């Protein structure tokens, strides 16, 4: 809940740098990224469709030469304690507000 929102904002900013206006990430990007990751966590952990989606992504890895690097084969176990990870959501949002405040997001 901390790494992936920041990673996806960095990835989006890298891709955006390839287009002519070269927009720089704003604090709103961190809100959207964090909310998306949180919703994805709840979707994968607590819905049957999310479990199927997870298995669809992980199964090719478990059947490949990378199988020794993957953890287990089953699915994402629905553990209510995993919802505690959502308490970490304010951290990437705080980082986004701190380092990418709305007023300072100008193209380079």
Please name which of 7, 19, 22, 28 lies closest in space to residue 96, comparing C-alpha atoms. Answer: 28
Per-residue pLDDT of the chain (108 residues; tens, 9 = 90+): 999 999 999 999 899 888 888 778 888 999 999 999 999 999 999 899 998 998 888 877 777 766 666 555 555 677 889 899 999 999 999 999 888 765 454 444
| C-alpha gyration radius of the chain | 17
| pTM of the shown model | 0.76
Q: Tell me how far apart the alpha carbons of residues 108 and 96 are, in angstroms, rounded to a whole number.
A: 18
> Given phi > 0 = left and psi -120 to 50 = alpha, else beta, which region is 31?
alpha
Burial readout 35-71 (b: 16 or more C-beta within 10 A, e: otherwise)? eebbeebeebbeeeebbebbeeebeeeeeeeeeeeee
Please report the pLDDT score of residue 93 as a whole number.
94
CB 69 within 8 A of CB 48: no
């Amino acid at each position: 809940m901390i790494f992936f929102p920041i990673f996806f904002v960095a990835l989006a900013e890298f891709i955006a740098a390839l287009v002519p206006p070269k927009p720089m990430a704003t604090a709103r990007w961190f809100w959207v990224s964090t909310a998306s990751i949180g919703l994805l966590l709840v979707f994968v952990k607590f819905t049957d469709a999310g479990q199927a989606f997870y298995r669809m992504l992980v199964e090719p890895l478990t059947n490949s030469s990378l199988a020794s690097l993957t953890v287990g084969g089953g699915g994402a176990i629905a553990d209510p304690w995993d919802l505690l990870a959502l308490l970490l959501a304010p951290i990437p949002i705080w980082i986004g507000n701190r380092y990418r405040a709305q007023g300072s997001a100008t193209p380079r």
